[in-house]
Amino acid sequence: MDKGTLGRATVLTVGGIILSLNTIAAQAAVTTLLVGPSTPVPSGQVGDAFEFLSNAAIQGDTFAFAASEPGLHGLAGPLMGLYRGSLSTGNLSVIVDRTVNSAETGLPFQGVFRTDIDGDTIAFLGASTTAGGVVKTGIYTQLTDGGAIFSVASADDPIRPNEVRGFAVEGSTVAFQGVSSTNPLATGIYTTTTVGGAPVTVVDTTTAVPNAPGMTFTDFEMRNGGLDNGTIAFLGTYPGGEGVYTVTPGGAPVAVATLDTVFPRSGGQLAASFFEPPAIDNGEVAFSVRHPEAGDPVAIYLASGGPLSLFVDTGTVLTSDGELFSTVGLGGANAGFALDNGRMAAIGLAQTVGGVFVADGTPPALVMGVDDAPGVPGNEVIFLNILEQSFSGDHIISAGFTLAPGDSANQPGIFLTTIPEPATFAMGLAGMGIGLLSRRARRT
């Protein structure tokens, strides 16, 4: 038995077969049904049952999710509520539901579209409608379980949040992509506090584009999970180009990747046509890329100050019999992947299998398959998604639907996949007499 490294993860060689510690740990993954139709609704409203679950996020012991009544064509209908949960206690509590009024309209919330978590603070994008029928969307926070709801960026503010783009919370700071209420072309990324206050400009349409003389940005997009240790990762566009950038408030943006960047790919190089908004964690930036011949994202990359590392692409082998990914992640701001401490959890599909996989620079490992509905024996998962804040430590949270054989009624679920972290799992192997494994400091 030999010890070594492959890519950026620890590996074990047994009888000449190279095993990624990530893959070994993934084989010990366990998925459970965290919330389902039979879970009591915390509001206690008579007749309520969870029917359409989405926007699942997790950090440490705290998780959050939204629930709606089913709408037309399988889409979410009227809001039931946004809920906070604890893994250790199993308790669920209401953040907002249809009995809670929005500060913007004085009428009940009707939709929750995004969530982000940092510590005990949960931030969300919520919408309500005025008596005159005008929909108003804002960013709200709840700092503690059962605490007050703060409006931190409102549709009535001079800088209003973009209702279809991301935001992020860290400590007492909320970063968001905003638009001037008087000039829709004046846009930027701003920060405010978790209890509200005047927004502070980080970058806007007067900001110079790095390495593009004479150019200024024309638009921005960020995603939940786009703020880490005070640094914001964002997608920026300008005439004739776009790229992934980072910026610290008070500083100038730094280019991570542009359309001129050389992108390594399985079997060659990728010519990018456009990017999806990036995530950032522990100084590492992850983002997905598309090219003109593909509608879905075809590759996900990691940048940490040096050459780009390929996490996974549509040339990556997913199964033991050689099936390749047909899709990696999802498009748009809900990019279908989450980054945590150098590992990525993402949605992936191959010809005969799909589900949630984990990658850390070594061959990816499937940790939850769409043909295995946890907590619902005999059912299969027919839809599954993870968001930007769906991976924390050894937990991955996902929202989806299951379908029983011969049944046409979908069953909603919030699923929790527990997968040992590589370092923790290595210690377990050492305790079993297999031996400690080493981690290489640099990437290939």
Q: What is the pLDDT of residues 172-231, one digit of tens each?
A: 999 999 999 888 888 999 999 999 999 999 999 999 999 999 999 999 999 888 999 999
Q: Which of 283, 164, 432 is nearest to 176 (CA)?
A: 164
Residues 166 and 248 in one domain: yes
Tell which wins on pLDDT, 234 or 16: 234
pLDDT at 164: 66
Is the same domain home to 133 and 216? yes
The Cα 140–Cα 116 span in angstroms is 10
Helix, strand, coil abundance in the chain, percent, nearest 5: 5, 50, 45
Same domain, 142 and 246: yes
Q: Are residues 159 and 144 in the same domain?
A: yes
pLDDT of residue 134: 87
**Residue 19, pLDDT score:** 34
Residues 269 and 306 in one domain: yes
Asked whether residue 78 is assigned to any structural domain, the reply reads: no
pTM, full prediction: 0.84
Give a yes or no: residue 297 inside a domain.
Answer: yes
- pLDDT (mean) for 338-348: 85
Are 138 and 201 members of one domain? yes
Q: Is the pLDDT of residue 295 over 70?
A: no
Parent domain of 205? 101-256
Question: In this structure, are residues 277 and 223 in contact, taking their beta carbons and an 8 Å threshold?
Answer: yes
Are 239 and 334 in the same domain? no
Cα–Cα distance for residue pair 297/301, rounded to 1 Å: 11
Same domain for 216 and 136: yes
Give the DSSP per-residue string, 207-240.
SBPTTSTT-B--EEE--TT-EETTEEEEEEEETT
Check residue 376 and give its pLDDT: 54
- CATH number reported for the structural domain that contains residue 141 in this entry: 2.130.10.120
Q: Is residue 309 part of a domain?
A: yes
Provide CB contacts within 8 A for 191, sequence distance 6+.
173, 174, 175, 176, 199, 200, 202, 249
Q: Is the pLDDT of residue 18 over 60?
A: no
Mark whether 272 and 354 lie in a shared domain: yes
What's the rounded Cα separation, in Å, for the pair 372 and 265? Answer: 31
* Helix residue ranges per DSSP H, 27-118: none
Give the chain's domain count. Answer: 2
Tell me the mean pLDDT in the region 399-410. 70
Q: 151-173, pLDDT tens digit by residue?
A: 999 988 999 998 767 899 999 99
The residue count of the chain comes to 444
Mean pLDDT, rounded, of the chain: 78
For residue 79, the model assigns a pLDDT of 83
For 280, residues 6+ apart whose C-beta sits below 8 A from its C-beta are 225, 226, 227, 228, 231, 232, 233, 246, 286, 339
Q: Taking the CB of residue 438, how many other CB atoms lie within 10 A of it?
A: 12
Name which residue leads in pLDDT, 85 or 317.
Answer: 85
Do 144 and 281 lie in one domain? The reply is no
pLDDT for 345 beyond 80:
yes
